[in-house]
Amino acid sequence: MKHIMIDLETLGTRADSVILSLGAVKFDLTSGKIDDKGFYASISIDSNLDLGRRIQEDTLLWWLKQDIAAQSVFHEDKTTLAQALEDFSDWVGSDDYEVWSNGADFDIPMLAHAYAQIQMEAPWKFWASNCFRTYKKLPGAKAIAGTVPFSGVKHNALADAFHQAQVAQAIHAGVFGKIAADKNPFKPVKPKANQ
């Protein structure tokens, strides 16, 4: 498995927003395999504020409107942001992964900002980040994405990461898996023999 889907639950949409939780799963884009254990950390708001991270009022109000199960993130046992990032790096390990998140300007940049704050290198190469939102906009992808049922609590970082990995796999199979070798429009044409 050479891919990681990352999801954050936050108290804002800017790079310096408070990170409430971090969820991630390792997955294979083509085989359908997903690491069922994944990674999850519930992070204290105070440890975010100590680093100068911010809360946006509109996001806080949005959380107040969410299902009680999603709001349980506020009542979980917490770790510090620094410890969560160190644990995440340990979980990723030294392998090179393609990392994915739902939006080129949200999870991955926010996580990279947090790593920079604690003066620790992010556990992925900058060129290995992928935008899952863009992937969902491929021709035919929206219809495919709608066929993948959600399992678990929406807005739980680990459940969201798991679902997003499943959708990425379904899109890959549906959009790219159906191109048979003989119907591939990019297949090189063999020159005809001289007559």
- Whether residue 106 lies inside any domain: the answer is yes
How far is it, in rounded angstroms, from Cα 39 to Cα 106? 19
- Whether residue 191 lies inside any domain: the answer is no
Query: The domain that contains 124 carries what CATH number?
Result: 3.30.420.10
How far is it, in rounded angstroms, from Cα 80 to Cα 195? 75
Domain that holds residue 40: 3-183
- Whether residue 192 lies inside any domain: the answer is no
- Whether residue 140 lies inside any domain: the answer is yes
How far is it, in rounded angstroms, from Cα 136 to Cα 7? 16
- Whether residue 190 lies inside any domain: the answer is no
How many domains would you assign to the chain? 1
- Whether residue 84 lies inside any domain: the answer is yes
- pLDDT by 10s per residue, the chain, length 195: 799 999 999 999 999 999 999 999 999 998 889 987 899 999 999 999 999 999 999 999 999 999 999 999 999 999 999 999 999 999 999 999 999 999 899 999 999 999 999 999 999 999 999 999 999 999 999 999 999 999 999 999 999 999 999 999 999 999 888 543 444 444 444 445 554
- Whether residue 99 lies inside any domain: the answer is yes
How far is it, in rounded angstroms, from Cα 131 to Cα 144? 17
- pTM, two decimals, is 0.89
Tell me the CA distances in angstroms from 104 to 60, 108, 131, 134, one per residue in order.
Answer: 22, 7, 5, 8
